[in-house]
Amino acid sequence: MSRKTLEDFPTFRLTRLNRGETRDGLTTFEFEGEFDRIIKPVAEITWFWLLIGERHAVCVQWKSFGEDTRVATVVAHEKELPEMSGKTLYYLSPGWDPKNVWMVLDKQWGWRHVCFQAVDAVAETYQAKDVSMVDGREVKTWTKLQRADKNTSTERFAPAAEQASLSSGAQQVIPG
């Protein structure tokens, strides 16, 4: 698998940038341009990111788009915009955060593929001295989970599924 770059993202060629009115410290900017492929709003989500170069992004909202074309107008409300002349703008869907994209693209981070393997765990049920409220229900019986091989001392605690029927100290191996 080859390393991903910004060039793998859909691009937006800015043909016109209109500066609108400023209100409450934010200026309305209207971007007119064309995507290199058809991009449409995702369900009822009306916003997305435009990455500007390698370290800037602006959150924009759809104003208009051609149903079967790549032409679109989007709007942003920002204090200022970074310099955009001569820069390619990249589309990033609303489910992503630009910082995470730049982090993954940064060659200095040294990302490597790691295959995780499941390990057995031991679940131990116990009764707490006091009652806790978890999601609106009373919890007194808890399950403690830890690795069966005891390579680490990491423990996780969760309310036991059955609050009345489990005896305290009961252990069970959960295969990984």
Q: Would you write out the chain's pLDDT as a tens digit for each of its 176 residues?
A: 566 778 888 999 999 999 999 999 999 999 999 999 988 777 788 899 999 877 789 999 999 988 777 899 999 999 999 888 777 899 998 888 898 888 777 777 666 677 888 888 888 888 889 999 888 888 988 888 888 887 777 888 888 877 665 556 667 787 77
Q: Which position has the token pair 């959960």?
A: 174
Under 8 Å between Cβ of 93 and 43:
no
pLDDT at 164: 62
Distances (CA, A) of 71 to 50, 77, 82, 93, 174: 15, 21, 23, 17, 55
**Element containing residue 98 per DSSP (H, E):** helix 98-105
pLDDT of the residue at 1:
58
Reduced to 3 states (helix: H, G, I; strand: E, B; else coil), residue 32 is: strand
Q: Which domains are assigned to the chain?
A: 6-107 (2.40.30), 121-174 (no CATH)
Q: Are 119 and 176 in contact (CB under 8 A)?
A: yes
pTM (whole model) above 0.85: no
Q: Are strands 121-134 and 171-174 parallel, antiparallel or unpaired?
A: antiparallel
* Residue in the block written with tokens 């390698």: 54
